[in-house]
Structure 1
Amino acid sequence: MYKHLYRRFLEAHAQELHFACHSHHYWPDVSRDAHLQYWDDSCQFVDDKWNYIFSKKIPHAQKLISEVLHLSKPEQIVFAPNTHEFVFRLLSSLDWNKKVRVLTTDSEFYSFDRQINRLAEFPNFEIVKVPTLPIETFNARFEKEMASGPWDLIFVSHVFFNSGLSCDVESFAKKAPANAIFAIDGYHSFMAVPLSLSAIEDRAFYIAGSYKYAQGGEGACFMYVPSGTRHRPFHTGWFAELSHLSAVGNQVGYPTDALQYAGSTMDFSALYRLIAVLEKFKSEGLTVEKIHGFVQKNQELFLAELQKKPHPLVNPQSLLRGPASAHHGHFLTFELPSTEKTQEMVKSLAKNHLKTDSRGTRLRFGFGLYHDENDVRKAVQALFI
C-alpha cells in the first residue's frame, strides 16, 4: 500500500525481506532529493548558510515535530547530531559538587546507559535502575521509586529498545518530584507509537531523532526543552551564543529558549531529510495513529501465522508483550535460550533472505510501511526453511 514511497530502497534489495526496520529503516525516496537540496543550498548561500538554516529550515522542522507531539511551543526544540549530546548536557546541568541521584530503568538505550554506568564509578553519583520486567507491574514500581526521592534526574524510555514494551510516561511526568529533571527517551516511539505531550509540555524533556521511525536517517536528533527552563549545562557549544556572537567575552551566557541546550557545528543534511519525510507523510495523510494502525495489523497477522505453525524458538510463548499491546512498539521481540542461539537464528534467517536483528538473547522483527500482507506471510515461512 505504501511501497511507492520506498521505490529506490526496495529495488536495491529486491530479493530481501527487510524486517530489521527497528534498527535500520529504509528511507523514503523524498529523502534523496532533500539530501541533494542541502548541497545546492550550501552552494547558493555559502557564508550565509547558517542564517538560512536557523531562520528557515529549523523553524520548519520544529513546527513539523510539534504537530506530531502536540506541542504549543515549537521554538523549544533544539537539534544535535546524536542523542548522547543531549544526555550529557542534561547530566552536565546538574550540580556535580554534591551527591547526584539518577532514577532510570534497566532497559535504556546504550547512549544513556553506558554514560551513567561510567558516572556510577564516581562516589557522588548514585544510579538506581528499575527492572522493566515484569512489565505488568512496571508502572507501579517506577512510580513507587519516584516517590522515594529526592532525585536529580529521572530518565525513562516511552518504548524500550530491547523489547518493544511501553510505559505510561505521561503519568510519570505528572507525578515526578518537582525539583527533578524529568526526561523521556522517545527515540523508539517517535513517529511510531502515538504520544501527546500537550499535558506535560511544561514538565518533561523529550529526546528523539530521525534515525528510526521518522526515517530520515542518522544525524538529526532533537530535544524538547520545557519553557521556563533556566539551565547552564557545562557541556555547551557555540550555537548557544548565536544571537550575540559579536559580544562574546569571558562570561558564559545562556539563551532562555531551547538553545541553552545547543551544541556546535553539525551537518544539517539530516535535518533536510527529516523535513522531507515528515512533509511527505503529511501530504499522504500518514499520521502517527494511521502508521501505528497499519503496523499493528501486520504484527497481528505475523502472530496469527505463527499460531498456525508454531516455531520451536519463535512462538507466542517466547514473545515479550505486555497487557497494553495497543501501545507496543513497532517490533516484536522473542526471548531465545541464549545469545549464541539468537545470533545463529539471525544468520540463518539472513541466508533465507530475511533480515532481522537482535540484542543479546532477544530476536527482533521490525515492521514498517513498506511491508504488505504477502511480505509478512513470507517472513513467517522463512522461519521454517
Structure 2
Amino acid sequence: MAYQQFYTGFLNANKGKQHYACHSHYFWPDCTREAMLNYWDDSAKYVDEKWGYFFQTLVPELQQRISKILNTGAPEQIVFAPNTHELLYRIMSCIDSAAPYKVVSTDSEFHSFQRQASRLEEQGAIELITVPTKPYHTFASRFKAAIAEHNPELVFFSQVFFNSGYVVNDVSDIVHSVTNDNTLVVVDGYHGFMAKPTDLADIAHRIFYLSGSYKYAQAGEGACFAHVPVGCKLRPTYTGWFAEFGELDKPRETGGKNNVQYSLDGMRFAGATMDFTALYRLRAVLRMFEDNSLDVAAINDYVMSMQRTFLKKLADCNHPLLNEKHLAVNNEMNRGHFLTFELDNADVTKALASKLKAHHILTDFRGNRLRFGFGLYHTPEYIDLRALSEIP
C-alpha cells in the first residue's frame, strides 16, 4: 500500500524537503484536519454539555482502542492529560514522605522526567539513583541490581530511550524484579506506543505506562495518557475535578480525613479542563489504521524496512561521519523507529545537522547524537542521500 496517500497535506506543505524527524513530530494524516473541524462542530452543538458527551463517547472509544493496542485488558484504567509531565507529577504526588524518598532511573530519560527529578533532588525531596544505559547489553541486569540494592519508592525507565533508540525488550522482566509492592513503577512508553508491538498483559496490574500521540500515534500534541495499574487505590495530591467522574470511592469521615473522593478506575489520576481537539485527532488516526488493517506490527515492519533502505543508500555514499560505524544501536532487534549516529562531539554534530538542513534534509540532534526518524510517509524514492557527496 502507498501510505503517502494518507499524508498529502503535510507532504504538499513540505515539498522539496526530506523530513527525518518523525520521532519528534510525525506528519499528521489528512484525516486529522476533518477531526479538528468535527471538534468545533460538536463544541458548537453541545456547548456546556460537551463534557458529558466527550466522556460518554470519545473517551471510552479511545480507552478501548489503546487498551487493545497494549493488551492491558483494562480500558477503564486509561486516563488522559495534555502531556505526560502532568501525569508523571500526579503519580509522584502519591508518595507521602517527609524524608527524601529514593528514585531509581537512568541517564537517558526525556526532560519530562529528568528536569522534574533533578529539581526535586535539588530541593532535597528525593534521592535520585541514576543507572547508565550503556553498555546496553548489561543495562537490564544493572538496573535490576540497583532496584534490589536501593529498594526505592519509585522506579522510572523508558521502553525505548529517546536519545539512542535502544529498545528495552525485557520490560516485564525488570518490572517483575521489583519485589516491594509499595514501589511505584512507571514506564515511559512514548517511543514505544504505536511503534513497537507492546504487550502489557502480565504487568498491567503493576505499572503506570505513559505515552501520547505526538510521535508515532501521529495525532500531534495534547493527547497523552497513562495506563494506571489495575486495582490502584492511590490518592494523588495533585488532583483535578475530572478525577470525580464516574463511580466514586466513599469518604471515610464526613468533613474529615480522606474526605476527598476519587474515581474507582484510572480516572482517579485525571486532572482538569483540557482541550479535547487532540483526542479527536487521535480517534481519527486510530480509526484510519483500523479501516486500512494497519496494526503496530505492520507499521513496525514497514518502518524498519525504510531504515534498511536508508542504511543501504548511506553505505553507497561512504560518508566519513554518517555511516554504520557510528550507529548507537547496531542490532535492528534492539532499535526503535529512528537511527542515532554518535559523533565526536556536540559541535561536529550541530554543524552536520546544519549542513543537512541546508540541503533540505531535516533531522535533529541531542548533544553528540544525530537522529534520523522514519515513518509511513517515507518510501525508497523519498530517501535521497546524494547531497552527502557535497557535505564533508
Instruction: Flag whether TM exceeds 0.5 (same fold).
Output: yes
Using the TM superposition, give the Cα deviation of residue 72 of structure 1 relative to its aligned residue in structure 2, in angstroms: 0.7
Which residue of structure 2 aligns with residue 175 of structure 1? 177
- For residues 228-263 of structure 1, what are the alpha-carbon distances to aligned partners after superposition, in whole Å with 9 as ceiling and x for unaligned? 111111111111123489x99963222221111110
- For residues 63-98 of structure 1, what are the alpha-carbon distances to aligned partners after superposition, in whole Å with 9 as ceiling and x for unaligned? 111111012110100000000001101111101313
Determine which of 225, 229, 232 is the counterpart of 1:229: 232
Runs of 4+ displaced beyond 6 Å: none
Give the SS at the match of 2:150. coil
Question: Percent identity between the aligned chains?
Answer: 47
Give the SS at the match of 1:79. strand
Which residue of structure 1 aligns with residue 188 of structure 2? 185
Which residue of structure 1 aligns with residue 223 of structure 2? 220
Determine which of 287, 290, 302 is the counterpart of 1:282: 290
Using the TM superposition, give the Cα deviation of residue 316 of structure 1 relative to its aligned residue in structure 2, in angstroms: 1.1
1:174 corresponds to which letter in structure 2? H
After TM superposition, list the pairs within 5 Å mapping 1:180-259 onto structure 2. 180-243=183-246, 251-259=259-267
Work out whether residues 247 and 264 of structure 2, in 8 Å CA contact, stay in contact via their aligned partners in 1: no
Partner Cα separation in structure 1 for residue 4 and residue 125 of structure 2? 52
2:350 corresponds to which letter in structure 1? Q
1:73 corresponds to which letter in structure 2? A
2:79 corresponds to which letter in structure 1? V
After TM superposition, list the pairs within 5 Å mapping 1:51-130 onto structure 2. 51-130=52-131
Q: Given the superposition, is the C-alpha separation of residues 322 and 151 from structure 1 closer, same or farther in structure 2, using an over 3 Å criterion?
A: farther
After TM superposition, list the pairs within 5 Å mapping 1:306-385 onto structure 2. 306-321=314-329, 323=331, 325-376=332-383, 378=384, 380-385=385-390
- The answer to whether 1:139 aligns with 2:140 is yes
2:176 corresponds to which letter in structure 1? K
Work out whether residues 196 and 300 of structure 2, in 8 Å CA contact, stay in contact via their aligned partners in 1: yes
1:278 corresponds to which letter in structure 2? L
- The answer to whether 1:16 aligns with 2:17 is yes
1:144 corresponds to which letter in structure 2? A
Determine which of 300, 303, 306 is the counterpart of 1:298: 306
- For residues 82-127 of structure 1, what are the alpha-carbon distances to aligned partners after superposition, in whole Å with 9 as ceiling and x for unaligned? 0000110111110131331101100000010000000111334110
Partner Cα separation in structure 2 for residue 229 and residue 309 of structure 1? 54
1:238 corresponds to which letter in structure 2? W
Give the SS at the match of 1:320. coil
After TM superposition, list the pairs within 5 Å mapping 1:154-173 onto structure 2. 154-167=155-168, 168-173=170-175
- For residues 268-304 of structure 1, what are the alpha-carbon distances to aligned partners after superposition, in whole Å with 9 as ceiling and x for unaligned? 0100000100110111111111110101111112112
Give the SS at the match of 2:27. coil
Using the TM superposition, give the Cα deviation of residue 341 of structure 1 relative to its aligned residue in structure 2, in angstroms: 1.5
Partner Cα separation in structure 2 for residue 142 and residue 194 of structure 1? 23
Work out whether residues 84 and 111 of structure 1, in 8 Å CA contact, stay in contact via their aligned partners in 2: yes
In structure 1, the gaps of 5 or more residues are: none
- For residues 17-68 of structure 1, what are the alpha-carbon distances to aligned partners after superposition, in whole Å with 9 as ceiling and x for unaligned? 1111111110000011011100000000111100000111000110111111
Give the SS at the match of 1:38. helix
Partner Cα separation in structure 1 for residue 230 and residue 71 of structure 2? 15
The number of residues matched between the two structures is 381
Using the TM superposition, give the Cα deviation of residue 382 of structure 1 relative to its aligned residue in structure 2, in angstroms: 2.7
Work out whether residues 20 and 356 of structure 1, in 8 Å CA contact, stay in contact via their aligned partners in 2: yes
Partner Cα separation in structure 2 for residue 83 and residue 20 of structure 1? 20
Q: Given the superposition, is the C-alpha separation of residues 64 and 243 from structure 1 closer, same or farther in structure 2, using an over 3 Å criterion?
A: closer
Partner Cα separation in structure 2 for residue 267 and residue 361 of structure 1? 36
Give the SS at the match of 1:374. coil
Partner Cα separation in structure 2 for residue 348 and residue 384 of structure 1? 12
Which residue of structure 2 aligns with residue 269 of structure 1? 277
2:186 corresponds to which letter in structure 1? A
In structure 2, the gaps of 5 or more residues are: none
Give the SS at the match of 1:303. helix
Work out whether residues 165 and 321 of structure 1, in 8 Å CA contact, stay in contact via their aligned partners in 2: yes
Partner Cα separation in structure 2 for residue 108 and residue 19 of structure 1? 21
Q: Given the superposition, is the C-alpha separation of residues 124 and 50 from structure 1 closer, same or farther in structure 2, using an over 3 Å criterion?
A: closer
Work out whether residues 89 and 234 of structure 1, in 8 Å CA contact, stay in contact via their aligned partners in 2: yes
2:114 corresponds to which letter in structure 1? D
Give the SS at the match of 1:194. coil
Using the TM superposition, give the Cα deviation of residue 322 of structure 1 relative to its aligned residue in structure 2, in angstroms: 5.2
Partner Cα separation in structure 1 for residue 271 and residue 233 of structure 2? 16
Which residue of structure 1 aligns with residue 268 of structure 2? 260
